[in-house]
Structure 1
C-alpha cells in the first residue's frame, strides 16, 4: 500500500511538472519577438511627443539586464553598441509593434533593438561585434519568447558604393538564420530615402533570398539628408509590419 501511495505521488508530481512545462511553452509561443538592427534610422532619430513616450500596451523591450520591461521610446536605449543615449529617438519599431499587436491581439510583442548610427553593412558581417551582439541578445530573448522575424534598416553609409550590397545583405540573412536556428526566419529590409542605387539593391533581396521582403521608402520624407521625420518613421514602421505579416502568413 505504501509503495502504491509513493507511486501515485510520483505520478502526480510528474503530471504537475508536465503541465507547468506545457503552460510555459504556451506562454513562449504567444510571446512574439522581433530583432531590430541597422544604422541610425533603426536606432531612431525622429522626434517623439510626451504621448509617444508612454509605455506601449502589450509590447516589451529587452533591457540591459537581459530582462523584459514595458517598451517605451527611445527603443534603442538598451542597444549594446549604440551612440549616446541623447541621440536615440523614434524608430520604426514604435509603429511596427503597434501594428503587429493590433493584428495579433492575443499575443504579446517583444523587441530586441540593437542598432548603431553611421555603420556600414560590412560592420554587420558574421564575426563582427555588431553581429555577435545581435545574435547573443536575440538568443537570450528566445528563452522566454519565439523569434518571429528580423527588421533591418541600413544603407545610408554604403550609398557611395552600392555594388554588391544585395549579395552582402543576402549573406547576412543566411548567417543570421543559421545562428538563430531558423532557416526560414522572416526578414524585412527597409529602403533608405531615395532615389538611391542602394534602394535598387535592397529591392533585389527577395530574388536572392526566400522569406524576405522590402519596406518601401516611397513618398517618405526626411528632416535632413538621411533621417526620416516623425510621420515618415511611423509610416515606415507600418510598412515593415505589413511586409512582416505577409511573410508570416504565407504557407
Structure 2
C-alpha cells in the first residue's frame, strides 16, 4: 500500500472515529419507556382510521428529544410516536411528546439531558398479554436494553393500560396481582429494583368493570410506583380514547409526577 493510500485510509479512520464520537455524545442520557395500550400509543386526532396530522405546540419536535424507532435506531422524536410500533391501528397524538417537552422545559432544575423515548404500547392488549414470557414483554425488554446500550439510564416506565381488562369480571379482579408481578419481573430483568413506574389510572374501558380496574390500579402500594389519574380528561366520541388535548394534559401530568420524584 503506498503512502497516499495509507494517508487516505488514516483520514477515513479519523473521520469515522469522529463521527462515532459525535453520535455517541448525542445518544439519550435519560430514557423513558412508553408502554400499555391504545391511549398510550395515542389516538388523538384519529378519525375514521385517519390521523389529522395536527400537532399541538406542546408536542412539537425538539433535537433534544429522540425516539427509538422500530429498527432500533434513534431519531428525532415526532408524532405519532408509535406509528411503526402499534402497526395494527392508526396512531395519532399520545402523551409521550407532551411529557418529554414538559420535562425538557424544566431541564435546568431537573438536570435532565437528552431525552430518549422508547415506544412499546400496542392497542387492545390486556395485562396478560404483557406477562413475562409473552412476545410483548420480550419486545419491551429487548428495546429497553438497546435504549441504554449507549450509556443512558432508564429513568421511568410510563404505563397506561387496563381498558381491555374491564370486559370480564375475572380479568378486573386479577388485574392488581398481575400488574404487581409485571412490575417486579421487569425490575428484576432490567436489574433495577428501584425502577420508577408511573402508571395511569384509566378513565374509560371496553366493558363495565372500569371501577374495579381503577381500584386495582390506585391500590398498588409497591415502592417507586406513582399513579396519575386520567379520570375527568375529555374522551373522544367513542367514549374510550382521549382527545388530542387530553393526551397533552395527561403527558404534562405524567411529567409533573416524574419531576416530583427528583426533589
Instruction: Indicate the TM-score class for this superposition, using the shorter chain for normalisation.
Output: 0.7 to 0.9
Aligned length: 222
For the residue of structure 2 that corresponds to 1:34, the secondary structure is: strand
Residue 164 of structure 1 aligns to a residue whose secondary structure is helix
Q: Structure 2 CA distance, aligned partners of 1:173 and 1:28?
A: 30
1:1-251 equivalence runs, <5 A: 31-47=29-45, 49-50=54-55, 54-79=60-85, 82-84=86-88, 87-105=90-108, 107-144=113-150, 145-160=152-167, 161=169, 162-193=172-203, 196-205=211-220, 207=221, 209-223=222-236, 224-247=238-261, 249=262
**Alpha-carbon offset, residue 51 of structure 1:** 5.7
> 2:127·2:179 contact (CA, 8 Å) conserved in 1?
yes
Query: For the Cα contact (< 8 Å) 1:83–1:117, is it kept in 2?
Result: no
Distance change >3 Å, CA 60–CA 30, structure 1 → 2? closer
> Contact between 1:59 and 1:97, CA under 8 Å: does it hold in 2?
yes
CA distance in 2, matches of 1:28, 1:58: 9
How far residue 83 of structure 1 moved from its aligned partner, in angstroms, is 3.1
Q: What displacement does 1:246 show?
A: 2.2
User: How far off its partner does 1:30 sit?
Assistant: 6.8
TM-superposition CA deviations, 1:121-148 (whole Å, max 9, x none): 0000000000000010010001122111
CA distance in 1, matches of 2:256, 2:64: 19
| TM-score normalized with structure 1 length | 0.81
Match of 1:13 in 2: none
Q: Is the 8 A contact 1:62 1:78 kept in 2?
A: no
1:46 alignment partner, SS class: coil
Structure 2, gaps ≥5 residues long? 1-20, 46-52, 205-209
> What is the Cα deviation at residue 197 of structure 1?
2.0
> RMSD across aligned C-alpha pairs, in angstroms?
2.4
Distance 2:26 2:182 in 1: 26
Give the alignment's TM-score, normalised by structure 2: 0.78
Aligned mates of 1:56, 1:165 — CA distance in 2: 37
Q: Kindly tell me: are residues 127 and 30 of structure 1, through their superposed partners in 2, closer, same or farther at Cα, counting changes over 3 Å? A: closer
Deviation at 1:104, TM superposition (A): 1.6
User: What secondary structure is seen at the aligned counterpart in 1 of 2:227?
Assistant: strand
Please give the alpha-carbon distance, in whole angstroms, between the structure 2 residues aligned to 1:174 and 1:29: 28
Distance 1:92 1:151 in 2: 10
